């Protein structure tokens, strides 16, 4: 469903992504684990066709992210930082508007709103203007907006950020439920517990590079450490040491 081949993104001399190669499949939650600034958001926004890669290729369900950008957008839902809401629109108006953008009929839009209301507990938000929402309320509608067209691929970039404990649990349970469908969920986070609970496989990313790919148990076992957090920091330490050796060799 998702294939990435030597994907790179540069901003002048700065390499935000460095030859990322990955594959992820329908029916799984694929995690992107990395600290802030690791390149996770750049990768997801490139896959979502919001950024154009400098080199390399990627495809979503067989559609190239550059050549077939419109088809890619029709099949993905994206939740990323900085995605705001129009303060004067209610939750329902927001969802209806985005449903129309995706070409849903009025009847189908109402069906999807009803489904998402049950899944995300939106009943208290639908007829309230977004200007009165808390951060957690806003995030619920942003997630619902990404799901309104029932996408085959869902890209979640720190989607639990800003949610209170109850809203966060609702989101994690929804991700678990969506896994059982013919859908790929790419879940980006720096929170180890979310990866351990949700992800079938994950890629550890640092400095725009993929350091390791595997299940949580595989990555922990390969590291020789006792848990994912220790395995993660060992990988970062090894990456830093390798870069230092390369710098010394060039010098």
The predicted pLDDT at position 148 comes to 97
Name the one residue in this structure whose structure tokens are 């919001």. Answer: 50
- Judge whether 131 and 87 are in contact, CB under 8 Å: yes
3-state SS string for 88-153:
CCEHHHHHHHHHHHCCCCHHHHHHHHHHHHHHHCCCCCCCCEHHHCCHHHHHHHHHHHHHCCCCCE
The predicted pLDDT at position 167 comes to 81
E strands, the chain, where?
A: 2-11, 14-24, 29-33, 55-60, 63-64, 76-79, 153-157, 184-189, 201-206, 209-214
CATH of 2-214, one of 3.40.220.10, 3.40.50.300, 3.40.50.410, 3.40.190.80: 3.40.50.300
Query: Residue ranges per domain, the chain?
Result: 2-214
The predicted pLDDT at position 137 comes to 87
φ, ψ at 188 (rounded to 5°) = -95, 130
- Give the span between the Cα atoms of 115 and 109, in whole angstroms: 10
The predicted pLDDT at position 16 comes to 96
Q: Which among 154, 172, 156, 144 is positioned nearest to 1, based on CA atoms?
A: 154
Helical packing angle, 91-101 and 106-120, nearest 10°: 130
- Give the span between the Cα atoms of 35 and 204, in whole angstroms: 9
Name the one residue in this structure whose structure tokens are 């600290």. Answer: 35
**pLDDT per residue rounded down to tens, the chain (251 residues):** 899 999 999 999 999 999 999 999 999 999 999 998 899 999 999 999 999 999 999 999 999 999 999 999 999 999 987 678 999 999 999 999 999 999 999 999 999 999 999 988 899 999 999 999 988 888 889 989 999 999 999 999 988 877 788 888 888 988 988 887 789 999 999 999 999 999 999 999 999 999 999 999 999 999 999 999 999 999 999 988 877 766 666 65
Sign of CA dihedral 38, 44, 47, 53: negative
The predicted pLDDT at position 247 comes to 64
The predicted pLDDT at position 82 comes to 65
Sign of CA dihedral 95, 99, 100, 104: negative
Coil, strand or helix at 8: strand
The predicted pLDDT at position 245 comes to 66
What per-residue string of b and e applies to 60-97 under the rule 16 or more CB within 10 Å gives b? bbebebeebbebbbbbbbbbbeeeebeeebbbbebbbe
Q: What pTM was computed for the model?
A: 0.91
- Judge whether 116 and 96 are in contact, CB under 8 Å: no
Structure letter (DSSP) for residue 13: T
């Amino acid at each position: 469903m998702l294939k990435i081949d030597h994907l790179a993104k540069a901003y002048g001399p700065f390499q935000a992504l460095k030859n990322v190669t990955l594959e992820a499949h329908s029916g799984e939650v694929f995690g992107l684990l990395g600290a802030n600034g690791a390149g996770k958001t750049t990768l997801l926004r490139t896959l979502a066709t919001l950024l154009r890669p400098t080199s390399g290729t990627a495809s979503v369900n067989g559609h190239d992210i550059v050549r077939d950008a419109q088809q890619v957008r029709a099949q993905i839902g994206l939740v990323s930082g900085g995605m705001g809401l129009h303060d004067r629109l209610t939750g329902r108006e927001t969802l209806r508007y985005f449903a129309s953008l995706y070409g849903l009929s009025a009847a189908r839009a109402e069906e999807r709103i009803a489904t998402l209301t049950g899944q995300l507990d939106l009943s208290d938000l639908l007829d309230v203007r977004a200007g009165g929402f808390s951060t957690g309320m806003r995030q619920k509608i942003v997630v619902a907006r990404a799901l309104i067209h029932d996408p085959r691929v869902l890209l979640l970039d720190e989607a639990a950020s800003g949610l209170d404990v109850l809203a966060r649990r609702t989101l994690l349970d929804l991700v678990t439920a969506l896994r059982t469908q013919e859908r790929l969920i790419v879940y980006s986070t720096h929170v180890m517990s979310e990866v351990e609970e949700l992800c079938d496989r994950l890629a550890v990313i640092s400095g725009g590079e993929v350091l390791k790919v595997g299940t949580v148990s595989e990555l922990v076992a390969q590291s020789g450490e006792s848990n994912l957090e220790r395995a993660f920091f060992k990988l970062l330490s090894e990456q830093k040491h390798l870069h230092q050796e390369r710098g010394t060799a060039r010098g």
